[in-house]
Each structure stands twice: as structure tokens, then as C-alpha cells.
Amino acid sequence: MADAPQSPGGRQERNPAQGLGRRMGSMPGGNRFWLILLVLLAVNYVIAGQASSGPSRLQVPYSFFRAQVVQGNVAEVTSTGDTIEGDFTRKTAPPKGMDGSPSTHFKTERPAFADDKLIDLLLAKKIIINAHPIDEGQPLWQTLVFGFGPTLLIVGLFVLLARRAQAAAGGGALGGFGRSRAKRYDAAQTKGQVDFDDVAGIDEAEDELVEVVDFLRNPERYTKLGASVPRGVLLSGPPGTGKTLLARAVAGEAGVPFFSLSASEFIEAIVGVGASRVRDLFSQAKAAAPAIIFIDELDAIGRARGGGATLGGHDEREQTLNQILTEMDGFTGSEGVIVIAATNRPDVLDHALLRPGRFDRRVTVNPPDQTGRKLILDVHTRDVPLADDVDLQAIAASTPGMVGADLRNLVNEAALTAARRGHERVQLADFTDSLEKIVLGAERRIVLSQAERERTAYHESGHALLGMLQPGADPVRKISIIPRGRALGVTFQSPENDRYGYSADYLRGRLIGSLGGRAAELLIYGDMTTGAESDLEQATRIARMMAGRWGMSEAVGPVSVLPGPNDEPTLFPGVAQPSERTRELVDGEARRILEECADAALVELREHREQLEALTRALLEHETLDEADAYRIAGIDRVPRATARA
């Protein structure tokens, strides 16, 4: 393994942002600072003087002033010694030969030899007369305080804050802005925390990281064969599958310094700060090498570059990404430092990040299968007292599609339900009720009329009966006419085993089952209600995908017309968009598929009217039917569930 590089102090000198931080700390001793301070003081003094001088006044001769008094154009005068100031009753222009614009404010000087009985004239014209003592000027201390005080106060506060920020950041760039915010965990801190024993159900991803940890612990085993550890490991997968948990397990197992932060913590309003933080992070990691850096939500800064003007935050994000690319595989490299990153959107990442030499190893963390869900439930129930009737294998079988975060939430909800009911141990009923709450929604305490309860019972019985009759359909687990969430009733179906592909026959069976509630209302009442809104949305989505993406329509053919859920037009600039005629053809085929399935649902319910009525009567009586009761009442044999692998 390469020797650990020198202390970060050598690199800080080459950091422009950090250099600026030191210049800010030494500003009071610089010539430029004093020059700026003098200019600000001068501006402050001029502004303070203008503010205290009052409004500008028109300078007029004394004879002109007296004439305006005689004409009644003077409203008020104020005398300060021989200086007379006042206001005209209307805007008045200066006499000919004098500069100035019309104004209502004037100023004049009374000659010392004047003896014209001015006071009598002013009183006769009923002019307001004021008098002020002669201004001998304000004290020196007032001139200094009001003339220079505000500027000195602001500059003093600025210098104080700059010094305190620099001291708090240990001399970091821009008062600490450019320093990395990563949290460092050492072996002593991570001992007893999350480790690989806490990770279950995602064995393939775990194995990839176990190898990385083993390299850090026993590098000679690999280096003697010429092998080198991957510079970066990218964990990708849906939310909640355990990507961050894997990184925390690596921190607990590796026994080396572990730096953890979110990608969004690099970004700041000041352009260039993100790149400075990247440099600081890698400097710290290299100084502590061997070390691991974990960056969560990498897509926040790792999106593909280009595609628009670089303005503001976009430019800052690109600079940060460029610095990460350089640190991971630049001229200096990052020997002894492994970068682990997690993202939900690997498809939007810049291609330069994914090439060998940066993120050499890409690990997809998929949702667990049934066996994996059982192992995850084992982990999360280690500290939960379970009743004898709890079968974690059965719970794992009834939770297809759930990821680790979902299963942890299920266990927590079951424990809360058991505590609320006063149970000493968590029972199977607590798990099933919590699963219904999570999947179907919480019960709503609303009172339905008898007619609406009956219509809802027929609607849900239509769904359930067609789900039982369709070959290969997912088994019906529960039927209920208790309002939950936005629905007045629910029918819950889940597969026996995990499905990874869907045939056209299976999808048509799902469409027939989805349209079963609407068909039951048409059969019994001859009309339909808005209760089928969610069913129609789901059925329309499936039919459009069958025709426009999965090639299950002969009219459209094996052509993918509709974009995938994560496709973005900017990722495929050279791919032509489908024509309007092709899109209309997809819509027409989706409509045809839905109409055929709706007709099939109506025909099948008409043929099994007695079973529909039996299910409806049972629902009206009990409100909820579980799997065994539903199949028994419908008179349909239920194939026993196959024993799942342990």
C-alpha cells in the first residue's frame, strides 16, 4: 500500500479559497484595507453633514424677500442672528440675474444698517415668526461620533466576525465555508455499532463490500498478487433496500477511519465552495489513510454535465463534480482512500464517474426475495418478544415487494399495536392488522348507509370472485368493506412466490380482476359509480404498458413506444420520438384490451352469480373475510400454499 501523503497543511497553501480566508484574517494590517476605510469615513461624514443641514434653500436678496412679504407670499420666517430663513406660500422663482430654480424654501441676510421696522410688517401680514440662538457649532465629540461612528462600528463588527469565524474553523477557508462537513468515525467510535451481522437479505451486495473490508484489513493478501483495491464502490437500488445500512456496516467492520456525509452538503451558495470542501475531505482522508469516504445520495452532485447554461447552482454543482473526478483519479490519485457512494438514480449519473478508475465496482442492491425477507424479519425481531402463533416465514411470504425499510416499519407498527392492546408479546393478529394498515390504509370511522354498504360489498365481491376464478391469478388474502384510506372497501391479493416477470395471460387476468368491481355494479344495478376510479387508473396503466412497452399487441408489434419510469429525453438525444399515429395506435390497442377484459369480467360474473351473492351476504354480515373463509364461502378449492424454503 502506498505511504500516506503528507499533512493537509501543504495543500491548504494552494487552495485559493483558504488563502482568501487568511487574507480576511489579516485585513487590518493591509494598505488596501486602510484606503477603503478612509473612503468610507469620508462618505459617512458627507452624508451625515447633508442629513443635518436640512432642506436646500433658495438664496434671495433682502429687498426681494421684503417685496414678497408685502405681496403676502411669505408664510413663515425663522431668524438666527441676521440670517432669515423661511417658506413662501407658493413656489417662487429667484429674481432675474440670479441662479436657482423655483422653490418654497428661501434664505436671505438682513443688512446690519437696516432700520425698516421689519417686525411690524411681519406682524401686520400675520406671518409666523420664529427665532433661534446663533449656532456656535456642535462639540468636537459629537462631530466625531455622528460623522465617523457608524462606519467605525460596522467595520469593527466585520473584523471581529471574520476573526472569530476563522478561529472557530481553525483557519479554514472563507471562515470555514470551504472545510468539509464530513463526520469522521474511528474504530473506537464504531465498535458495537452496525456491522455485517445487522445486514440480511442482500447477500450479493454484502459480499462485494466484505471483500473491500478484507482488503483494508489484509492488504498484503492482494498486493502480493498485483491486485489493487477498487477506488470506488457505487451502491444503487430503490429506496429502503439497505444501501446506507451497508455503508454503516462497513464503518463498523473496517477498523479504519470512516468519513460520512451527504452529497448535498458539498453545495453552498458561494460558487467554488463545493470544490474546496471536496479537496479538504480528500486531504483529511489521505492524511488518515487507509480510510473510507461514504457519499450518500450521489446524484445530488453527480448528474450528467451539460444540457444548458451554467448559471448559479448548476455551475457550482459541475465544479464540485469536476473536483471529485480529479481527486478520485487525477494526477495525484487517492492511494489508500476508498470512496463508497449510494444513489437511487444511477441512470442520471455522469459517465465519467462510472468509468474504471473511479467507481470501478457497481453494486445493485435489489429488493429481497422471500428468503431474504425472512432473514430481515429475523434481524428486526431480535429484541421483540413474539407470541407462539407468529410465523415469520408466512409473514415474509405475504409481503412481496417490501424492502428492508418496509419490513422494519412493519415490525415497529406491530409492536406499537401490541403495546396499544396491552399484549405482553407481539401476536400474529398484531402483524396482520399492521400489514393491512400499511398496505391498505388506516380504518376510517365513517357511517355508510345500508344501500352504500351493499353496493360496496358487491363491488369488492366482484374483485375477489374474479381473482379466485382466474387461472394463475394472485390468491385473495382478505376482503373488507371497512373504509380504509380513500377507499370504501378493499380486496387484498398477493402472490404465493416472488414474481420477476409477467406473462400476457397473467396481466389479462389482473385486468379482469381489476374491472370486476365495476362489472359487479353493472350486473346488479345496471349502472356504475365513481368507486371504480382507482381500478380504472390501474387497469389503464397496465393496458397501455402491454401495448406500448411490452410488445403484447399484434397491431403495434414488438415496438417500445412509451418511455420507462426513469427515462429522460436528455439521455437519448439521438433517438427519434414515436409518431402521432403510433401513439394513437397504442391508445386504440389499450382501449381494445380493456374493453375485452371488461366484457369477460361481466360474462364470468353472470355465470357465477350465486357465488357473488354468497360472498356479498357474508361481507355484509362480517365486514371482513380472511383467505380461508373467502374461498370456503365462494365454494372454490384453494390450493394449499407451498412450503417456502427456510
The CA distance from 360 to 232, in Å, is: 6
Contact call for residues 404 and 245 (beta carbons, < 8 A): yes
Give DSSP secondary structure letters for 35-71.
HHHHHHHHHHHHHHHHHHS-S--EE--HHHHHHHHHT
Sequential DSSP letters for 339-369: EEEEES-GGGB-HHHHSTTTS-EEEE-PPP-
Closest CA to 297 of 244, 248, 347: 244
Q: What is the DSSP string of 290-332?
A: SEEEEEESTHHHHBPP-SS---THHHHHHHHHHHHHHHHHSSS
| Identified catalytic residue from 85, 318, 327, 460 | 460
Q: What's the rounded Cα separation, in Å, for the pair 472 and 506?
A: 7
Question: What is the H or E stretch that residue 610 is in?
Answer: helix 609-622
| Residue 96 near residue 87 (C-beta atoms within 8 A) | no
Residues 6+ apart with CB under 8 A from 471: 505, 509
Name the burial class of residue 126, with classes exposed (0-12), middle (13-18) and buried (19+) by CB atoms within 10 angstroms of its CB.
exposed
Please enumerate, as own/partner, the contacts of 444-447 that have beta carbons within 8 Å and a separation of 24 or more.
444/483, 444/484, 444/485, 446/483
Q: Is 460 a catalytic residue?
A: yes
- Tell me the Cα Rg of the chain: 41
Residues facing 74 on adjacent strands: 88
Residues 6+ apart with CB under 8 A from 91: 102, 103, 104
Amino acid at 394: A
Contacts of 459 (CB under 8 A, 6+ apart): 489, 517, 518, 520, 521, 531, 532
- List the grid coordinates of 214: 478484507
Report the C-alpha gap between 31 and 562 in whole angstroms. 66
User: Nearest 5°: phi and psi at 137?
Assistant: 90, 150
Report the 10 Å Cβ neighbour count for 563: 14
Q: Which residues are catalytic?
A: 460
